[in-house]
Amino acid sequence: MTGNYLFEEDRLQHIDHPVNAPSVYNGTVPIICDSVNSTLFYLRETGRGGGIEIRNMNSTVNYTNATDITSNSSSWNVVPALQHGIDVLFGLESSYDYFLQQFGRNSIDNAGLKLNGFINYSSSGVSFFNTNGFVFGKQVDSTVLPATSLEIVAHEYTHGINLYTANLGTIGEQGALNESFSDIFGVVIDHAINPTTANYLIGEKCTSNGKAFRDMAQPYQYLMPNTYLGTYWNTTTTTGRGSVQNYWFYLLAEGGSGINDLGNSYHIKKIGMADAAAIAYRALTLYLTPTATFNNARTATIQAAIDLFGTCSNQEEEVTKAWYAVGVGTNYTGGVFAAALFPTTVLCSNGSINPVNLSMNATSYEWDFGDGNVSTVANPSHTYSSTGNYT
């Protein structure tokens, strides 16, 4: 009667349909799914990069025969085996968003590559990234649960970024660094999504007894080293050495002090997770190369800290100290500065001066004697050939 507008129901079905769906490990989570019609929904979306699609491998190793995961309602009340698909979609969406928002990175290749996730792979407990996509093993019994928790999906996503950037390998120190960068961003993304409940554990939700696979804050708890070549150093597993860089990251983000396995004492002031993550991202994507060593990672992260926060910044200092704490490289010595002492400033006739070099941590020198003569040696002597005032 009044012509007032009261209600509208949109009968169009949208490809990208936002819903709140029940995940296994993260409670009810916001995801985008594909609404084919009002009684058919797929775990697919097109809004992020080239899209994200999750499929069920039905306990096989065959990617091409994987089937869509469907729900007959937008509430996504599906059986637990398929519910892990919601965790994987949520994890990939969260990882995509984190790297886009923090670093402007559009998908793992920074060119919008479509992301494919697979659940119910034939082997239980496994999770990995390969050219097919992000793959998660099935559940066989109550002791080994599918590893689809947020930090593990984000861990696999970071392996994808590594493939298109540093391309660190899977063996030796490069393999250890590869695993560590994945752990770092797995935990960082967990903190971004769950700021009050996230921790530094990897995989604790995916075991029946709550025991994690790794602890970045206390590698010893899982018989992994916190010092390069230190206790539990293990040359047969990559994750068992990635813990050294994991602990470096933990010290940088949270601070800490102690005496390492080499007997060196350290005291690290926290720079916070956001700065530590920015430094790690820049090192991984700009400086590191496939055969990088721990020492290369040290150099790359120090350079990244200088790029982002400046020479002699607090961040550069703590990055260096944290590497020293885990047994890689020398301790921070206070930056580079120039100073000199001139014992003789007045000469009664032509004569020489011998300035005392007081500069610290320099690798090159440039002296200008004011009469047109220069020197690049550390401790020069100079003879003036005519009288005058020289600066």
Residue 165 in the binding site for Zn ion (CB under 5 A): no
What is the rounded distance in angstroms from the CA atom of residue 246 to the CA atom of residue 143?
A: 27
Residue 385 dihedral angles phi and psi, to the nearest 5°: -100, -10
How far, CA to CA in Å, does 169 sit from each of 93, 178, 301, 343? Answer: 26, 7, 19, 56
Q: Which stretch binds Zn ion (CB under 5 A): 172-180, 247-255, 256-264, 353-361?
A: 172-180
DSSP-based three-state secondary structure for 12: coil
Total site size for Zn ion, rule CB under 5 A: 2
Q: Is residue 182 a contact point for Zn ion (CB under 5 A)?
A: yes
Q: Give residue 72's Cα distance to chain centre.
A: 38
Contact call for residue 95 and Zn ion (CB under 5 A): no
Shortest separation between residue 130's beta carbon and Zn ion, angstroms: 11
Q: x/- site string to Zn ion, residues 268 to 307, per CB under 5 A? A: ----------------------------------------
Asked if 238 is part of the footprint of Zn ion (rule: CB under 5 A), the reply reads no
Decide if 13 contacts 36 (C-beta within 8 A): yes
Length of the chain: 391
- Is residue 243 part of the contact set for Zn ion (CB under 5 A)? no
Chain residue whose CB lies nearest Zn ion = 182
In the DSSP assignment, the letter for residue 223 is T
Return d(Cα 115, Cα 99) in angstroms, integer: 14
Minimal distance, residue 59 CB to Zn ion, in Å: 22
Backbone angles phi, psi at 172, to 5 degrees: 60, -155
Near Zn ion by CB under 5 A, which window of 56-64, 180-188, 249-257, 378-386? 180-188
The letter for the amino acid at 295 is N
Determine the interface stretch with Zn ion among 177-185, 254-262, 284-292, 340-348 (rule: CB under 5 A).
177-185
Question: Of 29-37, 174-182, 224-232, 290-298, which segment contacts Zn ion by CB under 5 A?
Answer: 174-182
DSSP class of residue 294 equals H
Nearer to Zn ion, 179 or 190 (CB): 179
Nearest distance from residue 52's CB to Zn ion, in Å?
Answer: 20
Of 171, 192, 54, nearest in space to 117 by CA:
54
- The residues that bridge with 22 in the sheet, in sequence order, are 28
Which stretch in 72-80, 142-150, 178-186, 352-360 sits in contact with Zn ion by CB under 5 A? 178-186
Shortest spacing between CB 246 and Zn ion, in angstroms:
12
Q: Which residues bind Zn ion (CB under 5 A)?
A: 179, 182
